[in-house]
Amino acid sequence: MAQLTYREAVARGIAQEMNRDERVVLIGEDIAGAGGVFKTTVGLLEQFGPRRVLDTPISEQAILGAAMGAAMTGLRPIAEIMFSDFFAVCWDIVVNQMAKTRYMTNGQVSIPLVVKSGNGGGLRFGAQHSQSIENWAMAVPGLKVVTPSCPEDVVGLMAAAVRSDDPVLFFEHKGLYASRGEVPDGPIEDVLGKAKIRRSGEHATIAALGMMVPRAVEAAERLAAQGISCEVIDVRSLIPLDAQTILDSVGRTGRLFTVEENPRALGWGAEIASIVGDEGFWDLDGPIVRITTPHVPLPSADSLEDLVIPSVDRIVAEVEKAMQA
Give tens-digit pLDDT for 102-113.
999 999 999 999
Task: Note the pLDDT of residue 50.
Answer: 97
pTM given for the model: 0.97
User: What mean pLDDT value characterizes the chain?
Assistant: 97
Candidates 129, 173, 203, 295; catalytic one: 129
Listed residue (193, 181, 262) closest to 7, CA to CA: 181
Domain with CATH 3.40.50.970 in the chain: 2-183
Task: Note the pLDDT of residue 325.
Answer: 81
HEC-encoded secondary structure of the chain: CEEEEHHHHHHHHHHHHHHHCCCEEEEECCCCCCCCCCCCCCCHHHHHCCCCEEECCCCHHHHHHHHHHHHHCCCEEEEEEEEHHHHHHHHHHHHHHHHHHHHHCCCCCCCCCEEEEEECCCCCCCCCCCCCCHHHHHCCCCCEEECCCCHHHHHHHHHHHHHCCCCEEEEEEHHHCCCEEEECCCCCCCCCCCCEEEECCCCEEEEECCCHHHHHHHHHHHHHCCCCCEEEEECCEEECCCHHHHHHHHHHHCCEEEEEEEECCCCHHHHHHHHHHHHCHHHCCCCCEEEEECCCCCCCCHHHHHHHCCCHHHHHHHHHHHHHC
Cβ atoms 124, 117 nearer than 8 A: no
Query: Given this structure, which CATH class describes domain 2-183?
Result: alpha beta
Mean pLDDT of the 300-321 span: 97
Cβ atoms 111, 72 nearer than 8 A: yes
Cβ atoms 25, 77 nearer than 8 A: yes
Listed residue (218, 206, 222) closest to 291, CA to CA: 206
Cβ atoms 110, 102 nearer than 8 A: yes
Residue 129 catalytic? yes
Confidence band of 283 (pLDDT split at 50, 70, 90) = very high
pLDDT tens-digit series, residues 159-214:
999 999 999 999 999 999 999 999 999 999 999 999 999 999 999 999 999 999 99
pLDDT tens-digit series, residues 228-242:
999 999 999 999 999
Q: Is the pLDDT of residue 87 over 90?
A: yes
pLDDT tens-digit series, residues 26-83:
999 999 999 999 999 999 999 999 999 999 999 999 999 999 999 999 999 999 999 9
What is the percentage of the chain residues whose pLDDT exceeds 70? Answer: 100
How many whole angstroms separate alpha carbon 137 and alpha carbon 132? Answer: 10
Task: Note the pLDDT of residue 27.
Answer: 98
Domain with CATH 3.40.50.920 in the chain: 196-324
Mean pLDDT of the 211-231 span: 98
Confidence band of 1 (pLDDT split at 50, 70, 90) = confident
Kindly report the CATH number that applies to the domain delimited by 196-324: 3.40.50.920
Confidence band of 89 (pLDDT split at 50, 70, 90) = very high
Confidence band of 154 (pLDDT split at 50, 70, 90) = very high
